[in-house]
Amino acid sequence: MSSRDKILATVKANQPEQRALPELRLGAGGADGAVAAGVGAGGGDLSAAAGTDLSAAFITMLEAIGGSAYMVSGYERIATILREQHPRVGRIISGCPELEVFAETGKRYADPHVLEDVGLAVLKAHFGVAENGACWITEDRMIERALPFIAQHLALVIRCQDIVADMHGAYEWIEKIEGAAAQAEGAGAEKGVGSYGFATFIAGPSKTADIEQSLVLGAHGPRSLLVFLIDEGLSDAGFY
């Protein structure tokens, strides 16, 4: 008998009587059962469904965990701010074609080790989560899986309306992204098309408190994290 069969047989013999899964009625959309029903069912934005401005809560949380946030009108402002914030950062790679004069864009890399010297990576994330300051990013937006971790500094870009209240909303959104991608692949696409091979929530810069509980930013990954929230209706006039 293989270990597999032995383990499965013992587990099966010992597992208790069937217990039902609970219904998920938690989170901002959960009180009225909206999460269970699917917040995005109406086809609108998940964030809009929450009906409140979540960007302020997101920014407060992000700052509390060591990140910083900027509301910007577009990529021109992003380039200006990054030049000011990271004047001598060295090699910059971006997944935003809008930043091509500012960074390496549109390249693929055969070996992640060539990213060793990246000073700054600027990547588009999908959405932010207000309750914890995290952003969800899938590997198609990372250029290389290693990039958001190996870069000395990281900047993420989202639209300011793309923020969910909590993690329940986040997983609803993730499902929606996959659904849309599968649809784009064609109606005959099999399940799982458009889904990521790797994805992550990033909440603030890399950090540790392993030495006497003293918080230090910049453990192995980026030492800083900037999140840009693009609000196209925003005027640049008030800045600087």
Partner 1 sequence: MKGKDHAALADEFNKDEPRVNWHDETLWWVRQKRDKAAHKVPEWEELRETASQIKNNVLSNLSEYLQQFEAAATANGITVHWAADAAEHNAIVLSILRRHQVDKMVKSKSMLTEECHLNEFLSTQGIDVVDTDLGERVVQLAGEPPSHIVLPCIHKKKEEIGEIFHEHLGTPKGNADPQFLTHAARLHLREKFLTRRVALTGVNFAVAETGEFVVCTNEGNADMGAHLADVHIASMGIEKLIPLRKHLGVFLRLLTRSATGQPITTYSSHFKKPRPGQEMHVVFVDNGRSVHLGRKDFRNSLKCIRCAACFNTCPVYRRSGGHSYHTAVAGPIGSILAPNLDREKYADLPFASTLCGSCSNVCPVKIDIHEQLYKWRQVIVQAGTAPLAKKVAMKTMNWVLSNPSVYHGAGKAGRWFMLNAPFTVNNGLNLWYKQRDMPGVPKESFGEWYKKNKK
Residues 23-82 that bind partner 1 (CB under 8 A): 24-27, 30, 61, 65
End-to-end CA distance of the chain: give it in Å, rounded: 72
With a CB cutoff of 8 Å and minimum separation 6, the contacts of 194 are 177, 178, 179, 180, 181, 182, 183, 184, 185
168 forms part of the interface with partner 1 (CB under 8 A) = yes
198 forms part of the interface with partner 1 (CB under 8 A) = yes
127 forms part of the interface with partner 1 (CB under 8 A) = no
Give the one residue of 80, 105, 161, 195 binding partner 1; rule: CB under 8 A.
195
Q: For residues 76 and 90, which CB has a smaller minimum distance to partner 1 in the complex?
A: 90
200 forms part of the interface with partner 1 (CB under 8 A) = yes
Give the one residue of 20, 101, 187, 237 binding partner 1; rule: CB under 8 A.
20
Question: Which range in 93-101, 147-155, 181-189, 226-234 contacts partner 1 by CB under 8 A?
Answer: 147-155
202 forms part of the interface with partner 1 (CB under 8 A) = yes
User: CA-to-CA distance for 188 and 194, rounded, in angstroms?
Assistant: 13
CB 44 within 8 A of CB 183: no
Q: Cα–Cα–Cα angle for 38, 194, 98, nearest 5°?
A: 100
Question: Which range in 47-55, 81-89, 90-98, 132-140 contacts partner 1 by CB under 8 A?
Answer: 132-140
4 forms part of the interface with partner 1 (CB under 8 A) = yes
Q: Classify residue 127 by its DSSP letter.
A: E
Q: For residues 18 and 235, which CB has a smaller minimum distance to partner 1 in the complex?
A: 18
Q: Which two tokens stand for residue 22?
A: 């609970």
Least Cα distance to 29 among 176, 136, 156 occurs for 176
Q: Cα–Cα–Cα angle for 204, 209, 210, nearest 5°?
A: 135
User: CA-to-CA distance for 239 and 227, rounded, in angstroms?
Assistant: 17
Q: For residues 37 and 219, which CB has a smaller minimum distance to partner 1 in the complex?
A: 219
Least CB distance to partner 1 at residue 211 (A): 4
84 forms part of the interface with partner 1 (CB under 8 A) = no
